[in-house]
């Protein structure tokens, strides 16, 4: 009996597998939290570098298949990506900055055009005996709501781009080393696993990493498709600031659930501050976003994103709300990948430990039979 | 890094990992059917990607029914392969076992227990996938060898089954 207890204690199986998995998971979570606190000053650069690594590593693999050394392949891919980003930034930056300045100036005079649009709408409704609206009161209410929403979104986005600017040196450097040495670093970290959990640890890592990588790649492609489709759409229907609005819609659309609603605010504001605001232009701007979102829902999400994130909608909704509350724009975007990584890690831990628990019990039974 | 660079240069050894197990693993791999037809340089390069582990006597390497992450090559010590408490085989240094897990995530078919303290290396499926991405020709050759190895094991099992069935039901 004593021998059995000591054997059970050695294999850590006296606890129920779910309790054991919860303990291991919480210990891991605590270790990751400590790491996040320590690396807080460079956490943004690390996150962006990891995302870039996930996006660029297939390109490095492509060159390695052609016999290139890892450092040469990583350097070439980083070089191409950097040149591409510089070219895009050089082309778009002056245009975007001019448009941001114009929008900031025009937003202060938003009340008059909005009042005109709502008064015209009220006149049309009364003429057709449909209903009537109190235009000045509605204008105040809309301006208040839009002001609150847009100021918080703009603050988050400016902080986002500000962080990118300050990490410009660190991000390429970390990404390059990840592309070169990620496998070595990963293997060294996995060597820390105890013998009895070595294979289980690897299996959990492989599943979580492949899902996370495909999700990051998926939402990056999704954001680019949305930005391109809406930019072309806004340009075709004659909405001002098409590139800026396209990029904003692409970024906002990355936010699960709330992104669909938030993405409709910038084009409506752009129409209202234009020289000829009208109900038709607002409808056209909204139609562009809706068509892009239909393309997104019908084509992009099922093929690229949905496979990765298999979470309950309520979990995503609450997670995104809490993520946004505690961590701002980053929290909104990172909540889903973090949640499904937790789900994969925990469920695989429970499955693996349950199996080990069963094996240890069977071994003990065999030992008893022998005795 | 240039191939002609002196090996005792400080920068060469600065981050160099302890590679005694790599040499030993490469030598054992060279004698294994899985690495038949590979040059020593390729074998050494691949051996360096493997994962060394040490087990105490009596420690279980894996259990029957566990999902396997890869194959295992024994460097030193002895390992017993058991099924339901019955010993099926003994693994000696240089032998490889559990290679079915390289093909897919099939469950282990028997227990592997260290009879004495042993050193071994894991060759994981993910390493093979990485290799297939970077060196598809080499990976293809290795998969062919793996196929030949598994086919050999299957033939051996069939022979054993037919031998036992002949003994049980003589003509």
Q: Are A313 and A253 in contact (CB under 8 A)?
A: no
Q: Please give the tally of structural domains in chain B.
A: 1
SS3 B113: strand
Output the pLDDT for position B93. 93
The pLDDT tens digits of the residues spanning A186-233 come to 888 888 888 888 888 898 888 888 878 777 777 888 888 889 999 999
Which tens digit of pLDDT belongs to each residue from B101-110? 888 767 888 8
**Could you say which of B55, B67, B135 has the minimum Cβ distance to residue A195?**
B55
Predicted local confidence at residue B7, as pLDDT:
44
pLDDT in tens, A46-65: 888 888 888 888 888 888 77
Task: Check residue A5 and give its pLDDT.
Answer: 45
Which pLDDT belongs to residue B119? 93
Q: Is residue B2 part of a domain?
A: no
Note whether A190 contacts B: Cβ–Cβ < 8 A. yes
Instruction: Give the Å distances, CA to CA, from B127 to A15, A157, A202, B45.
Output: 33, 40, 11, 12
**CATH code of residue B84:** 2.60.120.10
Residues in A closer than 8 angstroms to B133, CB to CB, are: 61, 64-65
Contact B68 A187 (CB under 8 A): no
* ipTM of the complex model: 0.79
Give me the percent of chain A exceeding a pLDDT of 90: 1
Q: Does A108 touch chain B (CB under 8 A)?
A: no
For residues A360 and A235, which has the higher predicted lDDT (pLDDT)?
A235
Does residue B5 surpass a pLDDT of 90?
A: no
Looking at beta carbons, which residues of chain B come within 8 Å of A61? 133-134
Q: What is the pLDDT of residue A4?
A: 46
Domain that holds residue B92: 16-127+134-168
Q: Which is more confident, A326 or A104? A: A326
Q: Per residue in B50-88, pLDDT tens? A: 999 999 999 989 888 888 889 999 999 999 998 877 888
For B60, nearest residue in chain A (alpha carbons): A196
Residue of B53, B68, B69 to mutate when probing chain A, most A C-beta within 10 A: B69
Mutate to test the interface with A, among B25, B54, B125, B126 (most CBs of A within 10 A): B126
A180 with A71: CB under 8 angstroms?
A: yes
| A162 has a pLDDT exceeding 70 | no
In chain A, what are the domain boundaries?
17-370
Shortest CA distance from B126: residue in chain A: A206
**In contact, A96 and A247? CB cutoff 8 Å:** yes
Is pLDDT at A75 greater than 80 in this prediction? yes
Phi, psi angles (nearest 5°) of residue A16 = -65, 140
- Separation CA A211–CA A217 (nearest Å): 10
| Residue A3 pLDDT exceeds 50 | no
Region of poorest pLDDT, from A158-172, A210-224, B90-104, B106-120: A158-172
Mean pLDDT, residues A131-157: 70
Instruction: Find which of A199, A207, A363 to mutate to test the B interface (most B CBs within 10 Å of its CB).
Output: A199
Kindly report, residue by residue over A93-116, the tens digit of the pLDDT.
Answer: 777 677 767 766 666 666 777 777
Which residue in the set A65, A199, A202 is minimally distant from B134, CB to CB? A65
């Amino acid at each position: 009996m004593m021998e059995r207890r000591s054997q059970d204690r050695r294999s850590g199986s006296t606890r129920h597998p779910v309790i054991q998995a919860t303990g291991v998971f919480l210990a891991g979570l605590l270790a990751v939290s400590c790491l996040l606190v320590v690396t807080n000053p460079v956490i943004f650069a690390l996150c962006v570098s990891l995302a870039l690594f996930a996006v660029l590593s297939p390109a490095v693999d492509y060159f390695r298949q052609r016999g290139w050394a890892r450092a040469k392949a990583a350097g070439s891919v980083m070089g191409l990506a950097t040149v591409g980003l510089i070219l895009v930034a050089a082309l778009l930056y002056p245009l975007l900055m001019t448009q941001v300045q114009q929008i900031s100036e025009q937003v202060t005079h938003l009340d008059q055009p909005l009042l005109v649009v709502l008064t015209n709408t009220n006149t049309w409704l009364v003429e057709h005996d449909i209903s009537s609206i109190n235009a000045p009161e509605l204008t105040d209410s809309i301006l208040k709501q839009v002001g609150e929403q847009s100021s918080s979104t703009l603050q988050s986005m400016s902080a986002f781009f500000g962080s990118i600017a300050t990490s410009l040196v660190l991000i390429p450097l970390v990404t390059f080393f990840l592309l070169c040495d990620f496998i070595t670093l990963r293997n060294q970290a996995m060597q820390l696993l105890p013998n009895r959990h070595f294979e289980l640890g690897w299996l959990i890592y492989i599943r979580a990493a492949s899902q996370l990588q495909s999700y990051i790649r998926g939402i990056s492609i999704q954001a680019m498709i949305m930005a391109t489709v809406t930019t072309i759409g806004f340009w075709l229907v004659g909405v001002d600031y098409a590139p800026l609005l396209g990029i904003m819609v692409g970024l906002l659309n990355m936010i699960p659930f709330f992104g669909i609603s938030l993405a409709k605010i910038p084009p409506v504001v752009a129409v209202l501050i234009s020289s000829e605001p009208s109900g038709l232009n607002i409808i056209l701007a909204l139609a562009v976003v809706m068509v892009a979102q239909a393309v997104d829902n019908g084509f992009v999400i099922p093929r690229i994103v949905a496979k990765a994130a298999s979470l309950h909608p309520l979990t995503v909704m609450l997670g995104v709300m809490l993520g946004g509350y505690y961590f701002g724009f980053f929290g909104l975007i990172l909540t889903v990948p973090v949640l499904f990584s937790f789900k994969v890690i925990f469920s695989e831990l429970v499955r693996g430990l349950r199996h080990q628990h069963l094996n240890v019990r069977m071994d003990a039974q065999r030992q008893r039979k022998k005795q | 890094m240039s191939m002609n660079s002196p090996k005792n240069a400080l920068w060469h050894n600065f981050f160099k990992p302890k590679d005694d197990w790599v040499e030993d693993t490469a030598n054992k791999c060279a004698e294994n059917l899985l690495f038949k037809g590979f040059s020593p340089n390729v074998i050494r390069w691949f051996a360096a990607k493997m994962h060394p582990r040490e087990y105490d006597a009596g420690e279980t390497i894996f259990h029957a029914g566990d999902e396997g992450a890869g194959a295992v090559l024994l460097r030193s010590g002895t390992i017993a392969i058991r099924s339901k408490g019955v010993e099926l085989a003994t693994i000696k240094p240089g032998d490889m076992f559990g290679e079915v897990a390289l093909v897919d995530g099939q469950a282990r078919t028997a227990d592997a227990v260290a009879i004495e303290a042993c050193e071994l290396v894991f060759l994981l499926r993910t390493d093979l996938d990485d290799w297939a991405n970077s060196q598809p020709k080499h990976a293809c050759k290795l998969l062919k060898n793996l196929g030949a190895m598994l086919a050999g094991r299957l033939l051996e099992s069939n022979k054993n089954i037919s031998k036992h069935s002949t003994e049980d039901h003589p003509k």
